Structure 1
């Protein structure tokens, strides 16, 4: 049985000494600690595996902690376990043995090879030489996926109870060009709110306004509307708001060399501006609001 053996813990939740606002910044796909057993089982090399990473996204938001915002980061790679999926989106073609009856084997993400235990990296390359055991898949879910979501849910619930509302900003990055040649040029950033269902409407509008004034081109919900995290934790009728932001990697890094680009510090600074503006929104303006206990 493979265990995550990175030098880092599987994930970290870092809380500020003093909270600026009930806004949580989460980076679920920037993990780069690859277990040795996983690398040995892979038919592709490490640079190919790393193409699935939201490289440096956790670093871009790291300074927000000192500004009073909690930051959550995952250290294991998304191609090992993807926490932005349902817990059991599993492709039966990948495994030896019978999957549990409750596994979702027919989702669009499973069909594309990008389930909870991915079959391919982002550009469609098969990861594994051989099939995995079902026990291996379930072990990763029990020891990595579930503890992360339990910890995130506890944090969200505690913040919601304390402030009466909470905003989860799910931070991702995207390749500068899509797989399809027909796809139009991607904007600098894409805001995802699950087509208006995961957060109050003023949040994507504020994101678009602030980022536009900072000089970025901004899209909404295309090609990314938000994944499981945005959908699962967003419940604006209960004061739980989740919004996804996707950064075009070309604005902050050299995609081919996987190195920070010349605008890296500026992009990090601009995300801090966004966070500060977001923190000025009166909590009651977000809709249903549960007054914090005295």
Structure 2
């Protein structure tokens, strides 16, 4: 569809959204940043490679190459916090997950620039998601929107201790049928990896905005701890050690587990009647 938005249309009742895999920063923005590496540090590293098998299952894949520093496609465009009282980043972040400033003083985007970024990237991305949701609803009746993410296992500003490998989010059961949440949780439990449902990450704006179980749209977020599929260096993370390269052999056990998760999503949608 464009050079930054990529859509692979599949036939199964499953959409895998990847809003944070991008690392591209336009030349009009990058010189204003303190450190280009810092601006890319919080990407969902290698998620597009980790889920490369999804197309073979018939999934539709919607992903972007734009960095979340430019615009976070999984934030409420109104500016409302998804986790009131807890640290988080905004639609156009000005700091990293660790609280480090992204922009040189006085170079942060103002309201007009934020509106322009929203019109340029946020709105087309979500328009594309909506098109795919309605296409598959028309065919299948029910569809699962699976929002795929990852994060470093330890980010003290965002959460205490070490994150479980699988972090399943349904906004406390509001965004999908309990049967889907149970099926995904069961698939995760049948692995060597740890998991939690509606822990620190309960689903971002995408999950909460599109999840309408009564209409047959079941949205669920999966936040993976990076250590499940790639090597995480001991702190501090630097440009010299992060991200570590994608290693197919290292990622294989996690990929096998995720294949079962996505197949459980498809099976649920095929059986569900809206």
TM-score, structure 2 normalization: 0.87
Alignment counterpart, residue 91 of structure 2, candidates 90, 98, 116 = 116
Task: Name 2:137's counterpart in structure 1.
Answer: 160
Alignment counterpart, residue 72 of structure 2, candidates 67, 82, 102 = 82
Residues 45-88 of structure 1: per-residue CA shift (max 9 Å, x gap): 22222221111112111221122111111110111101111224
| Structure 1 residues 116 and 109: alpha-carbon distance in aligned structure 2, compared to 1, 3 A threshold | farther
Displacement of 1:175 = 1.4
Alignment counterpart, residue 14 of structure 1, candidates 1, 4, 8 = 8
Q: Alpha carbon RMSD of aligned pairs, Å?
A: 2.3
Task: Name 2:264's counterpart in structure 1.
Answer: 277
- Between 274-283 and 53-62, the greater mean CA deviation after superposition: 274-283
Residue 203 in structure 1 maps to residue 184 in structure 2: no
Q: Following the alignment from structure 2 to structure 1, what is the Cα–Cα distance between the partners of residues 128 and 145?
A: 14
Matches within 5 A, 1:171-186: 171-180=148-157, 183-186=160-163
- In the alignment, structure 2 segments of 5+ residues that lack a partner are 234-240
Structure number with bigger Rg: 1
SS at match of 2:260: helix
Alignment counterpart, residue 192 of structure 2, candidates 195, 215, 221 = 215
Residues 2-56 of structure 1: per-residue CA shift (max 9 Å, x gap): xxxxxx722111013xx2x30111111111112222220111x222222211111
Extract structure 1 runs of 4+ deviating beyond 4 A: 106-113
Displacement of 1:182 = 7.7
Task: Name 2:46's counterpart in structure 1.
Answer: 56
Q: Is the 8 A contact 2:165 2:228 kept in 1?
A: yes
Task: Name 1:4's counterpart in structure 2.
Answer: none
Q: Following the alignment from structure 1 to structure 2, what is the Cα–Cα distance between the partners of residues 224 and 212?
A: 18
Task: Name 2:102's counterpart in structure 1.
Answer: 127
| Structure 1 residues 199 and 113: alpha-carbon distance in aligned structure 2, compared to 1, 3 A threshold | closer
Q: Is the 8 A contact 1:109 1:115 kept in 2?
A: no
TM-score, structure 1 normalization: 0.82
Q: Following the alignment from structure 1 to structure 2, what is the Cα–Cα distance between the partners of residues 171 and 138?
A: 25
Q: Following the alignment from structure 2 to structure 1, what is the Cα–Cα distance between the partners of residues 87 and 158?
A: 18
